[in-house]
Structure 1
Amino acid sequence: MNNLPLILKREFIARVRNRTFVVMTFLSPLIFVGMILLISWLATINSSDVKQVAVVDETGSFFEILKSSEEVNFLNYTDYKLEQAKDSVRSKELYGLLYIPGNTANSKLEESVQFYADESPNISVIRNIEKSIATKITNQNFKEQGLDIHKIEEARARVNIQIENFSGEKTSKMSTYIKMIFGGAAGYFLMMFIIIYGNMVMRSVIEEKSNRIIEIIISSVKPMQLMLGKILGTSFAGILQFFIWVLLGGILLTVITSIFGVNAQPPSMDAAEAMAGANQEQIQLILNDILKLPLLTLVVSFLIYFIGGYFLYSAIYAAIGAAVDSETDSQQFMLPVILPLMLGIYVGFFSVIENPHGTISTIFSMIPLTSPIVMLMRIPFGVPWWEVAISMLLLIASIVLVIWFAGKIYRIGILMYGKKPTYKELFKWLKY
């Protein structure tokens, strides 16, 4: 393995000095911060667009309960006939027309209200209108049956369950969502990094093979050394790029948001209370839930699973690069590579969140092809150390096995030209 450090150094320098690598390293944080600012700006524009809704209320009792807001403004068109109101709404290009027929019993009115619009209306607008009308009709039904509405409201129970563990520590109702956000973000970013840097390895192999440089290199270097050197060299370049992204992204986000006054910080106390429907104590519980997360374990595990997942998939990418002559030819082999990563994401979001310690979640957090993603999503919910240890050991064992198989394909594939190999031929290469 004396040549391995030389190959590693060569690959690292070749990646780092590559013009595309340099440009994207410094341009990506700008694009990322720009996207955040663009989304914030578009959200501001979208929220400032007030929807004008005309209302024809033939009963004369519902328009008053339709409260205008920053999103919707209700206009009283009760003096118009229905067809006249339709023509006026079209000519003025209003958002829509709400029609509440008169001389209709409450039991039938529930199904008689109509909303006219050229485009499909926002579902939240429709739900708010339905809720207001339903509340009004319910109160009218109470009055018709001789029930006192005020007494009913006073007797209405409003249960607020307090969540507390057996040690006496209180937690918020948002605890599950907090864990889901941290775990989901870690798993998703891990998948993206594996795909990005794995493709870098594959392109490097294809480039040298298509330029016939590989024939000269292989005359003095063993194929296994060359493959490991490419994986390690590209991994170090990728890690360097990742840390530069984090550093520049944080600096740019801080500077630009302070200059343009865009609020990229967490929501204020009042905004957070409105979002969570909680008081100051509930917000404090949310902050405590974040602090109680195994953040150190999550960060360390992210690094370990990133390195492990990267080596596992990079070996596969290197084998694919050696087996084909161009990136176009590699597409037939990409689905089996991407599928486990996508499966890990779907299992994480649909199984881990529902039952992080269930059978499905546990099994997929042990399978090496999916464990880097699924286990990262499980860690915020609390995973026994021995499960994490078993998952990592299985991942390491799989890396050794996959690198051995990939080395066999790589040894033969790098000298094969002009023919797309089939899965059957790749299987034969493993026997040589």
Structure 2
Amino acid sequence: MNHLPLIIKREYLNKVRNKSFIIMTFLSPIIFMALIGVVAYLTQLNNDKIRLISVLDESGLVKDTFKDSEHTTYHVLEDMSLDDAKDLSKETEAYGLLHVDKIQDLKNLSKHITFYSEESPSINTISDLENQIEAKLTNMKLLQNGVDVDMINASKISVEIAQESFDGQKTSKIDSVIKIAFGGALGYLLFMFIIIYGNMIMRSVIEEKTSRIIEVIISSVKPVQLMLGKIFGTSLAGITQFLIWTILGFILMFVLSAVFGIDLAQVQTPQQQMVQQAMENPELNMRIQDVLTAFYNLPLLNLVLAFILFFIGGYLLYSSFYAAIGAAVDNETDTQQFMMPIIMPLVLAVYIGIFTVVEDPHGTVSTVFSFIPLTSPVVMLMRIPFGVPIWQQVLSFSILVGTFMLTVWFAAKIYRVGILMYGKKPTYKELIKWIKY
């Protein structure tokens, strides 16, 4: 197989010298970071906006409930009708008007509260108002029933069950969250890499086949060498592109922050903002330490090595399928009938990882699918953070490598025949015949 390095070099150089490859390699992170920058800038503008909410409480029960916050100011209106309050709110360009009817019955009052606004208010704003009013009315109802609210609050006890293995290793709920996040991220990264660069290998085979260049190449190179060369060469090009994206991403983040004064940390969802406010609580600040402890408890060395091995093994396995499909057809349209059997195991692996590994990482379903080669790269990567015996990892990887070698042998037979077949749409029955040649 002394021609293999030459084929890998040729495929790699063809990819990285391609104009579209170069343009997308440098343009994609610029577009992505520009999009993030625009979102960050708009978010900053939105965060700087202070919302004025008028409050007309005709019942007089909840008007003292509302406290001004960093982005919301409450203006309590007195002695005016609802129509006058609406007109005043429009004149002052208030975000909205909260109206409470003149009802003293607390139970009925909850059904006579209305928020008026020019446009639909945000969900967070309405939820915040509801929470404040609900807490106030609940406390008032308890007092009416002769219940000491302060005593109830003082009697609340927070329970957090400590977790520890039989070997004495302490864990927590946060440990599980961190493990799920790491395993899910690694599995999803592999899933996306296979989809993106597997298709690149398939397109490369189709292009050379339709241009008839393959007829010249195949006269001096064995089909299996050519197929492996395309897989390895395209993979190296993909890794190169990924590394450039990562480096450019960090550089552009620095440029956006330093030159344009855009704080990328401002790109937050309302849920993240609420979490950030909650973390200012001294009690919750202690959880940061728990998160750091959970991170250090991860089998990081095992994760890194397993990720590299299963990433390479899983990618090469699926790449051989993509190369065989590319050789069997004449255009990308004809590939659709063969793509489903390839995509389904990947989708199943992600589904098993999200809904089964998270709930029971050492259960029968999770364990079995972490040994099946078509799903093991994703499922095993999601299981490892929860602690998987080394012998299971070695066995799973060995099965994956063995399946890859067997798949390459079968794929090479399809590749050998299909690469010279033109003008006919192959069927599964014909593919089986090609394997027997």
Matched-pair contact (CA < 8 Å) for 1:325–1:417: yes
Structure 2 counterpart SS, 1:127: helix
Q: Give the corresponding residue for 1:365.
A: 370
Displacement after TM superposition at 1:159 (Å) = 3.5
Alpha-carbon distance in structure 2 between the residues aligned to 1:265 and 1:167: 40
1:48–1:70 Cα contact (<8 Å) kept: no
- Map 1:316-335 → 2, pairs under 5 A: 316-335=321-340
Equivalence map 1:182-201=2 (5 Å): 182-201=182-201
Partner of 2:219: 219
Tell me, yes or no, if structure 1 residue 340 matches structure 2 residue 342: no
* Whole-angstrom distance in 2 between the partners of 1:137 and 1:114: 16
| Mapping 1:177-256, distance limit 5 Å | 177-254=177-254, 256=256
Equivalences for residues 14-413 of structure 1 within 5 A: 14-77=14-77, 79-83=79-83, 85=85, 94-117=94-117, 120-165=120-165, 171=171, 173-254=173-254, 256-260=256-260, 271=276, 274=279, 278-413=283-418
Which shifted more, 209-218 or 113-122?
113-122
Tell me the distance in 1 between the aligned counterparts of 2:411 and 2:92: 67
CA change 1:83–1:403 in 2 (3 A) is farther
Q: Which moved more, 1:407-416 or 1:203-212?
A: 407-416
Residue identity opposite 1:408 in structure 2: K
Contact kept in structure 2, 1:172 and 1:286, CA below 8 Å: no
**In structure 1, distance between residues paired with 2:161 and 2:262:** 36
Once the 2 structures are TM-superposed, how far is the Cα of residue 231 of structure 1 from its aligned partner? 0.9
- Residues 282-331 of structure 1: per-residue CA shift (max 9 Å, x gap): 32232122122122222222211221111111111111111222223323
How far residue 34 of structure 1 moved from its aligned partner, in angstroms, is: 3.6
| Residue identity in the other structure for 1:180 | I
Tell me if the contact between 1:194 and 1:306 (Cα under 8 Å) persists in the aligned partners: no
Counterparts of 1:121 and 1:180, CA distance in 2: 35
Structure 1 residues 327 and 27: alpha-carbon distance in aligned structure 2, compared to 1, 3 A threshold:
same
Deviations 1:194-237 (A, max 9, x none): 12211221111011011111111122222222111111221222
Amino acid at match of 2:293: N
Return the letter of the residue paired with 2:12. Answer: F
Name the CA shift for 1:34/1:369 in 2 (closer, same or farther; >3 Å). Answer: farther
Query: Structure 1's 143 and 378: CA in aligned 2 closer, same or farther, altered over 3 A?
Result: same
Deviation (angstroms), 1:171:
4.5
Distance 1:368 1:356 in 2: 18
What CA deviation, in whole Å up to 9, does each residue of 1:151-201 have, x standing for no partner?
Answer: 333223333555555566655542222222222221121111112211221
The 8 Å contact of residues 231 and 314 in structure 1, kept in 2 or not, is answered as yes
- Partners of 1:298 and 1:380 within 8 A in 2: yes
CA–CA distance in structure 2, aligned partners of residues 31 and 396 of structure 1: 38
Q: Distance in 2 between matches of 1:231 and 1:81?
A: 75
Report the CA distance between 1:130 and its aligned residue.
Answer: 2.0
Question: Contact (CA 8 Å) 1:206, 1:322: kept in 2 or not?
Answer: yes
TM-score (norm 2): 0.86
Structure 1, gaps ≥5 residues long: none
SS at match of 2:333: coil
Aligned-partner Cα distance in 1 for 2:166–2:122? 44
1:55 aligned counterpart, secondary structure: strand
Query: For 1:359-383, what per-residue CA distance to the aligned partner results, in whole angstroms no more than 9, with x for missing partners?
Result: 3322322222222122212222222
Whole-Å separation in 1 of the counterparts to 2:360 and 2:340: 28
Amino acid at match of 2:137: I
The answer to whether the Cα contact below 8 Å between 1:57 and 1:99 also exists between their aligned partners in 2 is yes
The 1:386/1:32 distance shift into structure 2, 3 A limit, reads: farther
Decide whether aligned partners of structure 1 residues 23 and 154 sit closer, same or farther in structure 2, where only a CA change above 3 A counts: same
Deviates more, 1:38-47 or 1:3-12: 38-47
For residues 373-405 of structure 1, give each alpha carbon's deviation from its aligned partner in whole angstroms, at most 9, with x where no partner exists. 222122222222122122212211221222222
**What letter is aligned with 1:302?**
F
Aligned residues: 430
For residues 272 and 145 of structure 1, do their structure 2 counterparts lie closer, same or farther at Cα, with a shift above 3 Å needed? closer
What secondary structure is seen at the aligned counterpart in 1 of 2:372? coil
